Structure 1
Amino acid sequence: MNSFVHRTLVVQLQAGTADRFPVLAHLGYDAEDPYAVTAVFSHDGRVLARWRLDREMLADGLRRPVGLGDVRMRPVATGHWEELRLDFFGDPRSGGGQHHAAVFAWAPAVTAFLRDTYAVVPPGRERVRVDDFLAEVIAES
């Protein structure tokens, strides 16, 4: 069985007060890191940002507002179009405030991606190999 899931979505990025514009979101899931989803946002072949997201938080964000700090998610309904809004907060601005970008993803596409990850590692069946983790930490010391 394949232990990796990848899906590329076209999402809408909104930075500050600018209009939304399309970018690619490359979502990745690896059974070796069962709690995390990697999201790489790109445009014209350039990586704009890379984030590691909590898989359970991503699923919860489809149903209700979740998150504190740098990453927040919530469902957004615009007519009959269901979206997941992901808010990313970065470093402080020199004039005050904080860098901020919002990404809007089509909720059914995120749901389908998550369903594929659950086929690899069902929710509640995630395992962390503590011995492997400790060996890696000790090796890096």
Structure 2
Amino acid sequence: MNTFVHKTLVVQLHAPGTGRFPVLAHLGYDADDPFAVTIVFAHDGHVLAQWRLDREMLAEGLNRPVGVGDVRLRPADTGMWHELRLEFLGEPRPDGGRQRAVVHAWAPAVAMFLRETREIVPPGRERSPVDELLADILATG
């Protein structure tokens, strides 16, 4: 049984003052870490950033605004396109500001990736090593 899903998407990075430009987003899901999705953003063979997101938060972001803090997601319609808007906030700078990146992904492609992850581990069926550890502790206690 396959326990890993990988998709590469071309997404649009919105940079202040320059508009949008294409970058690659490598989405990864591993059943051994069933609650997380990893996204690696790359351009010209260089990794720009890597983020780990909650799988259900990513799914909810396709339908409504979610996230408080470093990651915020929301659906966005731009005419014919249904997009997922991902906003990432970086570490605070000495001046009190923060780096900010906004990425626009084609929502149907993200939804298809999530469907594939759900075929491997359906929502509510996630298990992590902590589950077994707690079961062992409770059985011996």
Do the two structures share a fold, i.e. TM-score over 0.5?
yes
TM-score w.r.t. length of structure 1: 0.90
TM-score w.r.t. length of structure 2: 0.90
CA distance in structure 2 between the partners assigned to 1:68 and 1:16 by the alignment: 22
CA distance in structure 2 between the partners assigned to 1:114 and 1:133 by the alignment: 28
Give 5+ residue unaligned stretches, structure 1.
135-141
Deviation per residue, 1:93-128 (Å, 9 max, x gap): 343321100010000000000000000000111011
> What SS does structure 2 have at the residue aligned with 1:64?
coil
CA distance in structure 2 between the partners assigned to 1:52 and 1:62 by the alignment: 17
Give 5+ residue unaligned stretches, structure 2.
135-141
CA distance in structure 1 between the partners assigned to 2:91 and 2:122 by the alignment: 35
CA contact (8 A) 1:16 1:100 kept: no
Partner residue, 2:56: 56
CA contact (8 A) 1:82 1:108 kept: yes
> What SS does structure 1 have at the residue aligned with 2:85?
strand
RMSD across aligned positions (CA) = 1.5
Deviation per residue, 1:36-64 (Å, 9 max, x gap): 00000000000000000000000000000
Partner residue, 1:123: 123
1:35 and 2:35 matched:
yes
Identity %: 69
CA distance in structure 1 between the partners assigned to 2:26 and 2:35 by the alignment: 17
Partner residue, 1:137: none
Partner residue, 1:139: none
Partner residue, 1:110: 110
Moved over 4 A (4+): 131-134
1:11 and 2:11 matched:
yes
